[in-house]
Amino acid sequence: MPSVQDARPHALSLHSLRGKITLGYTAVAAIILVASLFFVGELRTLEARVVLGQRATDLFNTTLEIRRFERNYFLHHQAADRAENSRYIALAQKMLRENRSDFAAMAGQQRLQQLRERLDAYARQMAALAQADPRQLDAMEPQVRPLGQAVVAIAEDMAGTERRQIQSTLASFRTLLLGVILSMTLLIVVIGRALSQRVVKPLKEMESSVAALSANYRETLSAPSNDREILSITAAFNHMLQELDRRQKSLMRSERMVSLGTMLSGVAHELNNPLSNISTSCQILLEEVGDSDTAAQQRYLQQIDQQTERARSIVRSLLDFSRERAFRKEAVVLRPLVAQTVGFVRCEISAKSVVQLDIPDDLSVAADAQRLQQVFVNLIRNAMEGLGPQGRIEVSAQRVQASEPPAGTALGQGCGFKGAMVEIRVADNGPGIAPDILPRIFDPFFTTKDVGHGMGLGLFVVYEIVDEHGGCIAVQSTPGQGATFIIRLPLAAADTPKGAR
Ligand SMILES: Nc1ncnc2c1ncn2[C@@H]1O[C@H](COP(=O)(O)OP(=O)(O)O)[C@@H](O)[C@H]1O
Ligand SMILES: [Mg+2]
């Protein structure tokens, strides 16, 4: 089988399903990556804020310790409390020194300066207390306390501000997260839709056109998109259809050869009659040579001429049947065609069986005579094959006004046709067809006969031909009481009668 498309791996392009899917996938991955990077950045900011908040809280706690030991000192006048107080003051001063820029960013340069000045002033006051007389301590307390309170207030304010900052950062982070999730979802939905438009839609279209094709495989499939994969599937499919068509033609050919085989003995038989008539006439003529009865001689010669023509016509129709040629519809007078066909296949019928024709002389159909003859050969042969000794085959035809398809399994383009048609019935009183196989008898290769006795193509070919004519075929059967095949064909245009040969 010739390669339909180049099988080398192609560079990713937007003219391929793979390209489109990869693009969509990459876009989604990029969106997720960007969003993740963004959130990592935001988390780091938040982390830094929490560290700052911790520092502000530490500073605030230290100032509270300073005040605690200050109060203890004024209450109990213990040197140890004052020592702890100054240790915490030194700690707070160290914190302020080491994290100057952080605190400045947090509370502003001015407020930080203010805190540092107050703390320094407070430290000086507390240092002065060391030299003071313990009895004066109570008197000095009101000078120290406001400074201490101011330091705690500023530190508390700073810690509070930072806490609020963290809260608002968290709040905006939440809003952002929600927004990003929403827009990501939206983007993914949009990309998904675009992908499904570009990827799933052509596939779906392809599916439905393939389904439509399976009903009529003579057409070719047209690619629903320009994607490489779709194009190559379409090309492969069309190639397959061509191949199928080619093989089917060859099957039909061999089917016809089988029919020809059946007909040959009939033809020989048919030829025998005119030939023996000719021979008899010749003998009489020979015996009477020299007689003066010219009228009688003329009669015998005429008979010879007629019988020769009859023999010729038989040979011609056999040749016609065997020759392959294009479908050609013409007005075919039905009765002579059926009569001749019956004559050809009759040899196979047992002597006691009867074939009866009930066809008006003037009934014609628009058909290809050769193919129509094939239909009758196949149907009559099938009927004969099942007949018992009292077999009976009846071929009848009449004009009908079609309004719905014939009852039974009906197949073919013309089954929905409403109006005047020719209805042909081929009925037998053979064994009939079991209901479970009835729907399958028109399938190619379906046969109930032994190997070597049937290819299972006869009815398939019949269906093909009827369908080709725009007709309809149906079968009705009661097992044990025979089968009836009903064919409806378009009427011939009345002004082009041309008898079957
Ligand atoms: N007139 C009939 N009576 C009973 N069975 C029939 C008749 N015509 C067809 N069949 C059934 O349909 C099958 C398919 O017929 P056909 O397509 O002509 O293939 P084949 O004759 O090679 O088996 C036959 O095997 C037979 O079972
Ligand atoms: Mg058959």
Decide whether any atom of ligand 1 lies within 6 Å of the 475 Cβ: no
The pair of three-digit structure tokens given for residue 90, joined into one six-digit string:
């030194």
What does the pLDDT read at residue 280? 93
Q: Which of 248, 237, 253 minimizes the C-alpha distance to 1? A: 237
Q: Are 433 and 448 in contact (CB under 8 A)?
A: no
Decide whether any atom of ligand 1 lies within 6 Å of the 377 Cβ: no
Q: Which of 441, 442, 463 to mutate to test the pocket of ligand 1 (most atoms within 8 A of CB)?
A: 441
**Length, in residues, of the chain:** 501
Helices (H), 218-333: 228-287, 294-322
Tell which atom from ligand 1 comes closest to the C-alpha of 431. 4
Decide whether any atom of ligand 1 lies within 6 Å of the 382 Cβ: yes
What does the pLDDT read at residue 11? 59
What does the pLDDT read at residue 380? 92
Decide whether any atom of ligand 1 lies within 6 Å of the 444 Cβ: no
What does the pLDDT read at residue 218? 61
Q: Are 374 and 469 in contact (CB under 8 A)?
A: no
Q: Which of 459, 465, 473, 486 to mutate to test the pocket of ligand 1 (most atoms within 8 A of CB)?
A: 459
Q: Are 205 and 31 in contact (CB under 8 A)?
A: no
Distance CA(298)–CA(32), nearest Å, equals 106
Q: Count other C-beta atoms under 10 Å from residue 206's C-beta.
A: 19
Q: Count other C-beta atoms under 10 Å from residue 147's C-beta.
A: 20
Return the residue whose CA atom lies nearest to atom 27 of ligand 1.
448
The pair of three-digit structure tokens given for residue 470, joined into one six-digit string:
């725009």
What does the pLDDT read at residue 450? 85
What are 410's strand-pairing partners?
A: 474
| Residue extents of the structural domains in the chain | 17-206, 329-501
329-501, CATH topology level: Heat Shock Protein 90 (3.30.565)
Distance (Å) from CA 402 to ligand 1 centroid? 27
Distance (Å) from CA 448 to ligand 1 centroid? 7
Decide whether any atom of ligand 1 lies within 6 Å of the 430 Cβ: yes
The pair of three-digit structure tokens given for residue 169, joined into one six-digit string:
């950062």
The helices-and-strands tally (H runs, E runs) of the chain is 11, 8
What does the pLDDT read at residue 496? 37
Q: Let me know if domain 17-206 sits in CATH 1.20.1050.10.
A: no
Decide whether any atom of ligand 1 lies within 6 Å of the 408 Cβ: no
What does the pLDDT read at residue 241? 87
What does the pLDDT read at residue 349? 65
Ligand index nearest the alpha carbon of residue 453: 1
What does the pLDDT read at residue 217? 59
Decide whether any atom of ligand 1 lies within 6 Å of the 394 Cβ: no
What does the pLDDT read at residue 91? 95
What does the pLDDT read at residue 9? 52
Distance (Å) from CA 489 to ligand 1 centroid? 22
Distance CA(169)–CA(176), nearest Å, equals 10
Tell which atom from ligand 1 comes closest to the C-alpha of 485. 1
The pLDDT averaged over each successive group of 10 residues in the chain (501 residues) is 47 79 88 89 89 92 95 90 94 93 88 92 89 81 90 93 90 89 90 85 85 72 84 90 86 81 82 91 87 83 92 85 84 93 78 86 92 92 85 93 85 88 94 92 89 84 92 93 94 54 37
The number of angstroms, rounded, from the C-alpha of 59 to the middle of its chain's C-alpha atoms is 71
Contacts of 378 (CB under 8 A, 6+ apart): 255, 259, 458, 459, 461, 462
Backbone φ and ψ of 427, nearest 5°: -115, 145
Distance CA(425)–CA(435), nearest Å, equals 19
What does the pLDDT read at residue 115? 92
The residue type found at 167 is: Q
End-to-end CA distance of the chain: 43
Q: Are 118 and 93 in contact (CB under 8 A)?
A: no
Distance CA(21)–CA(27), nearest Å, equals 10
Tell which atom from ligand 1 comes closest to the C-alpha of 446. 14
Ligand index nearest the alpha carbon of residue 427: 1
The pair of three-digit structure tokens given for residue 165, joined into one six-digit string:
């900052």
Return the residue whose CA atom lies nearest to atom 21 of ligand 1.
454
Complete DSSP assignment for 122-166? HHHHHHHHHHS-GGGHHHHHHHHHHHHHHHHHHHHHHHHHHHHHH
